[in-house]
Structure 1
Amino acid sequence: MSVTAWMAVAVFAAVYVLIATEWVHRVAAALAGAVVMLLIGATDAEHAFFSEHAGIDWNVIFLLLGMMLIVAVLKRTGIFEFIAIWAARRAHGRPYRLMVLLTVATGFLSAWLDNVTTVLLIAPVTILVCRRLGLPVIPYLIAEIMACNIGGAATLIGDPPNIMIGSRADLSFNDFLIHMTPIVVVLMIVFVLMSRVMFRSAFRYDPERAASVMELNPRQAIKDVRLLIVSGVVITAVMACFVLHTALHLEPSVVAISGGLLLLGVSRLRPGDVVKDVEWETLAFFTGLFVMVGAMVQTGVIGDLGEAAADATGGNLLGTAMALVFGSVVPSAVIDNIPFVASVSPIVSEIVASSGGSEEAGVLWWAFALGADLGGNATIIASSANVVVIGIAEREGHHISFWQFSRYGLIVTAVTVTIAAAYVWLRYFALV
Structure 2
Amino acid sequence: MMVIINIVRETGLFEVLAIWAAQRAEAKPFRLLVLLALSTAGLSAMLDNVTTVLLMAPVSLAISNRLELNPIAFLVTEVLASNIGGVATLVGDPPNIMIASKAELGYLDFLVVLGPIAALIMAVFVAALWAMVGRTMTVAPHLQTAVLALSSREAVVDRPFLHRCLWLLGIVNVGFCMHSLIHLEPATIALLGASMFMLIGHARRKSEGAAELSFLADVEWKIIFFFYQVVYTGRWIGEGRRDSLLGRSVGFGDAGKSCGIHNGGALGVGNAIGRAG
TM-score band, normalised by shorter chain: 0.7 to 0.9
Query: 2:69 is paired with a residue of what secondary structure?
Result: coil
Does structure 1 residue 277 correspond to structure 2 residue 211? no
Is the 2:94–2:224 contact (alpha carbons within 8 Å) kept by the matching residues of 1? Answer: no
Q: Percent identity?
A: 40
1:303 to 220, 239, 243: 239
Distance 1:105 1:195 in 2: 16
* Matched residue, 2:246: none
Is the 2:41–2:86 contact (alpha carbons within 8 Å) kept by the matching residues of 1? Answer: yes
Structure 1 segment 160-239 matched on structure 2, within 5 A: 160-200=94-134, 202-239=136-173
Query: 1:205 is paired with a residue of what secondary structure?
Result: coil
1:116-175: per-residue Cα shift (whole Å, max 9, x none)?
A: 011000001000000101111111111111111111110011122322321222111010
**Count of paired positions:** 235
Distance 1:287 1:203 in 2: 40
1:246 to 164, 168, 180: 180
1:75-123: per-residue Cα shift (whole Å, max 9, x none)?
A: 0000001000111111111011101111111111111111001100000
- What's the RMSD between the two structures over aligned residues? 2.0
Does structure 1 residue 130 correspond to structure 2 residue 64? yes
Distance 2:238 2:127 in 1: 41
The offset of 1:279, in angstroms, is 1.2
Structure 1 segment 58-207 matched on structure 2, within 5 A: 67-200=1-134, 202-207=136-141
Q: In structure 2, give the amino acid aligned to 1:302.
A: G
* Matched residue, 1:265: 199
1:167-209: per-residue Cα shift (whole Å, max 9, x none)?
A: 2221110101110101111211121121111123651121010
Q: Relative contact order (alpha carbons < 8 A, sep ≥ 6): 1 or 2 greater?
A: 1
Distance 2:232 2:63 in 1: 43
Distance 2:186 2:162 in 1: 23
Is the 2:97–2:186 contact (alpha carbons within 8 Å) kept by the matching residues of 1? Answer: no
Distance 1:178 1:142 in 2: 27
Is the 1:91–1:101 contact (alpha carbons within 8 Å) kept by the matching residues of 2? Answer: yes
* Matched residue, 1:315: none
Distance 1:303 1:129 in 2: 49
Distance 2:12 2:136 in 1: 28
Q: In structure 1, give the amino acid aligned to 2:76.
A: I
Is the 1:107–1:150 contact (alpha carbons within 8 Å) kept by the matching residues of 2? Answer: yes
The offset of 1:293, in angstroms, is 5.8
Q: In structure 2, give the amino acid aligned to 1:147.
A: A
How has the CA–CA distance of structure 1 residues 287 and 150 changed in structure 2, closer, same or farther, with 3 Å as cutoff?
closer
The offset of 1:289, in angstroms, is 5.1
Distance 2:169 2:87 in 1: 20
How has the CA–CA distance of structure 1 residues 116 and 178 changed in structure 2, closer, same or farther, with 3 Å as cutoff?
same
Query: 1:180 is paired with a residue of what secondary structure?
Result: helix
Name the TM-score, length of structure 2 as normaliser: 0.79
Distance 1:291 1:240 in 2: 30
How has the CA–CA distance of structure 1 residues 165 and 211 changed in structure 2, closer, same or farther, with 3 Å as cutoff?
same
Greater shift after overlay, 247-256 or 180-189? 180-189
Distance 1:147 1:84 in 2: 15
1:325-365: per-residue Cα shift (whole Å, max 9, x none)?
A: xxxxxxxxxxxxxxxxxxxxxxxxxxxxxxxxxxxxxxxxx
Distance 2:114 2:161 in 1: 32
Structure 2: gaps of 5 or more residues:
207-211, 243-277
Query: 2:89 is paired with a residue of what secondary structure?
Result: coil
The offset of 1:266, in angstroms, is 2.1
The offset of 1:272, in angstroms, is 3.3
Structure 1 segment 287-326 matched on structure 2, within 5 A: 287-288=228-229, 296=236, 302-304=238-240
Distance 1:283 1:305 in 2: 23
Q: In structure 1, give the amino acid aligned to 2:239.
A: G
Is the 2:94–2:227 contact (alpha carbons within 8 Å) kept by the matching residues of 1? Answer: no
1:47-96: per-residue Cα shift (whole Å, max 9, x none)?
A: xxxxxxxxxxxxxxxxxxxx111111100000001000111111111011
Is the 2:26–2:144 contact (alpha carbons within 8 Å) kept by the matching residues of 1? Answer: yes
